[in-house]
Chains A and B, each alone.
Chain A
């Protein structure tokens, strides 16, 4: 059974810092990995999608890497801003069966002005 773990559970940093969020998964049989952002009480916004054959994806100040063989992904946020404060969720699409999305527990990020 696929399990996704995110470390740390919460992170608080001053504005302007670069930071890294970590995600690990137990089964490398995935189609892709997706990073989402969730603001309190809201839905999910997709940030980056990495296919299983890719190593990284970039969007603006965000860079996500994928090492499928070791079951790890990182989300790098450059020059953090208070508006980046949110919960960040990592999820993998499993290959078996209905190709479900399996989520980690999320990292709650706070950027202090």
Chain B
């Protein structure tokens, strides 16, 4: 299965600033996904990132707040914009190689907004 490198692993940011998280996959994948995990909670899907088209956002998430890039089949970024303390979470990217393949996850980015 694919291996995903995610960075940064953690960051402490000032409110009002933005942070861009990067994910690199070691093989080409059609779909990549971005999740948020708030403290003590399970994972919530933010958006699906497709190469060559705009990302598809889930209810409650908007492009202005979480812009996503997917320039090729191995790379994606998620930006958390105009951050507030409520954005403090673990952000994870994920990918899978085929319809019946399992999902692989990056190691996560632990974001704290102060």
Residues of A within 8 A of B (CB): 31-32, 34, 36, 41-46, 49, 51, 89, 91, 93, 98-101, 103-106
Contact = CB atoms under 8 A, between A and B. Distances in A.
A39 to B, nearest CB: 10
A49 B102 contact: yes
B92 A44 contact: yes
A34 B102 contact: yes
Given A98-B48, A103-B43, A105-B42, A42 B108 contact: yes
Tell me whether chain A's interface is mostly helix, strand or loop, or mixed. Answer: strand
A58 B99 CA distance: 21
A34 B45 CA distance: 16
Contacts of B103: 34, 46, 91, 93, 101
Contacts of A51: 100
B6 A43 contact: yes
Contact of A43 (B48, B100, B101, B108): B108
Nearest to B106: A43
Interface residues of B, number: 24
Contacts of B101: 49
Contacts of A104: 42
Interface string B88-114: 001010100001111111111010000
Nearest to B1: A46
Contacts of B48: 98, 100
A101 B100 contact: no
Nearest to A46: B102
B56 A101 contact: no
Contacts of A41: 90, 108, 110
B56 A98 contact: yes
B66 interface: no
